[in-house]
Structure 1
Amino acid sequence: MFTGIVEELGEVVRLTGTSGDSALVAVRGPVVTSDARHGDSIAVNGVCLTVVDVDGDVFTADVMGETLRRSSLGVLRPGDPVNLERAATLGSRLGGHLVQGHVDGVGEILGREPAELWETVRFSLPPALARYVVEKGSITVDGVSLTVVEATGTSLSVGLIPTTLKLTTLGHKGVGDPVNLEVDVLAKYVERLLAAGTGAVAGATAAGTADPTGTGAARTGGEL
């Protein structure tokens, strides 16, 4: 679990095997490797990866096919900057929101509107994710916890402060560049629970287990 507060801007050292069903990525990050061990979790551009090796300030992680298909990690190249965050601990401050590091889809930057003290950035939104994104709700973009300024069925916009622009990949990307999106997991659980509840009620009614009269006698078939 993560909080969406990027700890440092790392650098891709190498990425091999992306044409197949798995890949191996090596990333330089002095902060996140300072206490990293085999088996630890580190989010790379919002994707939770498991450390398999640490060599100085470089860690290596395996990337499976599903991750390559659902995220933008496969298009990274040596030298590219990446957002890095270590997994949260029980004593961590929740400065952002609960982030799993399980990317739901990839969007792209549609436009940037600089202002005096911040910048508004608009991203495309895959249709399947639109129902989970609401104005003033939370979303993770390339591992950065952000507040949604505006949301439509096909896009969303956020406001980025100078610190975010300077210390994350979002300040370096241009129009057309891909970004990893993770919607608020609470929204997905609520949807699933509501759907399950509706199905249970419908099933009970169809089976005749409901007793609208309150007499304790359930209706079955066409009988009263």
Structure 2
Amino acid sequence: MFTGIVQGTAEVVAINEKPQFRTHTLRMPPERLTGLEPGASVAHNGCCLTVTAIEEDRVSFDLMQETLRITNLGLLKQGDRVNFERAARFGDEIGGHAMSGHILCMAPITRIIRSENNRQIWFRLPEPYRRYLFTKGYIGIDGISLTIGEVDGCDFCVNLIPETLERTNLGFREEQELVNIEIDPQTQAIVDTVERVLAERMDNGN
């Protein structure tokens, strides 16, 4: 489990491509390596990956075909930076919201509105997932726990403070770039349950 409180960004220093498979290596900050071992979970842009090797500050991870297809990790190039968060431990403060590290889809950035002390970014969610969008609802964007500001059909925005812009890769994202989306699991469960109950009542003629 993750909290959506990104611990920083890490550079992709190596990519090893194989058919429908990829291993990439991050250079992790030394202070985030304490206790990290092969088999541990680390979120990359919100996607839960397993540590496969550690060599000094270089940490490697394997990516399967499905991960490469559904997430923006398949678009990474050497030198790019990803948001990272190590798995939450029992007793850790949950400063964001509970996140699974399972990406639902990608969404393009459609508009960036810059002002002196903050930034508003708009995204477009694929049509099948618009039913999960609610003003003031939680959403995970590249692993960052954020609150939805406004909703307009499939489009929604978030408002970012300087700390978020400095700590995460949203500070240097541009329009049309794709971000990973994780919908709050509780929101998914509630919406899906209500839709199923209403559909059953319709089928039963109630």
Q: TM-score, normalised by structure 2?
A: 0.92
Residue aligning to 2:90: 90
What is the CA–CA distance in structure 2 between the aligned matches of 1:53 and 1:36, rounded to whole Å? 10
What is the CA–CA distance in structure 2 between the aligned matches of 1:153 and 1:16, rounded to whole Å? 40
Residue aligning to 1:222: none
Compute the displacement of 1:55 (Å).
1.0
Residue aligning to 2:25: 26
Residue aligning to 1:180: 180
Compute the displacement of 1:200 (Å).
6.3
- Partner-residue secondary structure (3-state), 1:17: strand
- Partner-residue secondary structure (3-state), 1:83: strand
Compute the displacement of 1:199 (Å).
6.3
Structure 1 gaps of 5+ residues are 207-224
Residue aligning to 1:136: 136
Is 1:50 matched up with 2:50?
Answer: yes
Aligned length: 204
- Shift in alpha-carbon separation, 1:130–1:195, aligned structure 2, 3 A: closer
Higher relative contact order (CA 8 A, sep 6+): 2
Q: TM-score, normalised by structure 1?
A: 0.85
User: After superposition, what is the alpha-carbon deviation per residue over 1:182-221, rounded to whole angstroms, capped at 9, x for unaligned?
Assistant: 1111111123333554566678x69xxxxxxxxxxxxxxx
What is the CA–CA distance in structure 1 between the aligned matches of 2:15 and 2:32, rounded to whole Å? 19
Q: Is the 8 Å Cα contact of residues 32 and 84 (structure 1) preserved in structure 2?
A: no
Q: Is the 8 Å Cα contact of residues 131 and 191 (structure 2) preserved in structure 1?
A: no
- 1:93-112 residue pairs with structure 2 within 5 A? 93-112=93-112
Q: Is the 8 Å Cα contact of residues 46 and 102 (structure 1) preserved in structure 2?
A: yes
The Cα RMSD (Å) is 1.8
Q: Is the 8 Å Cα contact of residues 130 and 153 (structure 2) preserved in structure 1?
A: yes
Structure 2 gaps of 5+ residues are none
Rg larger in structure: 1
Q: Is the 8 Å Cα contact of residues 107 and 180 (structure 2) preserved in structure 1?
A: yes
- Partner-residue secondary structure (3-state), 2:32: coil
Q: Is the 8 Å Cα contact of residues 125 and 153 (structure 1) preserved in structure 2?
A: no
Compute the displacement of 1:32 (Å).
3.2
Q: Is the 8 Å Cα contact of residues 22 and 62 (structure 2) preserved in structure 1?
A: yes
- Partner-residue secondary structure (3-state), 1:2: coil
Is 1:193 matched up with 2:185?
Answer: no
Residue aligning to 1:60: 60
Greater alpha carbon shift after TM alignment, 188-197 vs 135-144? 188-197
What is the CA–CA distance in structure 2 between the aligned matches of 1:41 and 1:128, rounded to whole Å? 29
Greater alpha carbon shift after TM alignment, 106-115 vs 30-39? 30-39
* % identity of equivalent residues: 36
